[in-house]
């Protein structure tokens, strides 16, 4: 088996994942892009394990650990996204600047305008 084919495919998958993380503003799509990057790493691990033909199969073992971490990451990530969506009403990354209560953010903004000498309408 040539090592070039899976390596090029993994590089393309990883590049698409990086583009998705940098260009997307929806948190679910960002999580999907992170999963795509993890799968590209898994493909490289298995390809190099098959190419080296070692007796320990360390690449496959590391792939199993990576899949386990990815499953935990997506479970916790989606739980956090759902909780943020329920409280804020949006899953847009640009609009989520603070992780506090939205009502407290509004009170802090009013307090800042009063401290600056501006009247709050």
63-96 pLDDT tens trace? 999 999 999 999 999 999 999 899 888 888 887 7
> Could you tell me if residue 42 is inside a domain?
yes
Percent of the chain past pLDDT 70, that is, above it, reads 79
Residue, of 96 and 104, whose pLDDT is higher:
96
Residue-range definition of the domain harbouring residue 94: 4-115
Q: Is pLDDT above 70 for 111?
A: no
Q: Which residue has the tokens 């899953």?
A: 91
At what angle are helices 58-88 and 27-52 packed, to 10 degrees? 180
> Could you tell me if residue 56 is inside a domain?
yes
Q: What DSSP designation does 26 have?
A: B
Q: Do residues 51 and 1 make contact, with C-beta atoms less than 8 angstroms apart?
A: yes
What CATH code is carried by the domain that includes residue 35?
1.10.287.3510
Residue ranges of the alpha helices (H) in the chain?
Answer: 4-23, 27-52, 58-88, 102-115
């Amino acid at each position: 088996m040539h090592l070039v084919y899976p390596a090029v495919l993994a590089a393309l998958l990883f590049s698409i994942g990086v583009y998705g993380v940098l260009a997307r503003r929806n948190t679910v799509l960002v999580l999907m892009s992170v999963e795509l990057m993890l799968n590209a790493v898994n493909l490289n691990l298995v390809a190099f394990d098959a190419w080296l033909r070692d007796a320990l199969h360390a690449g496959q073992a590391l792939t199993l650990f990576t899949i386990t971490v990815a499953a935990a990451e997506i479970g916790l990530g989606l739980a956090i996204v759902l909780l943020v969506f329920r409280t804020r009403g949006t899953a847009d990354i640009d609009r989520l600047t603070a992780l506090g209560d939205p009502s407290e953010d509004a009170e802090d903004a009013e307090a800042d305008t009063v401290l600056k000498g501006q009247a709050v309408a």
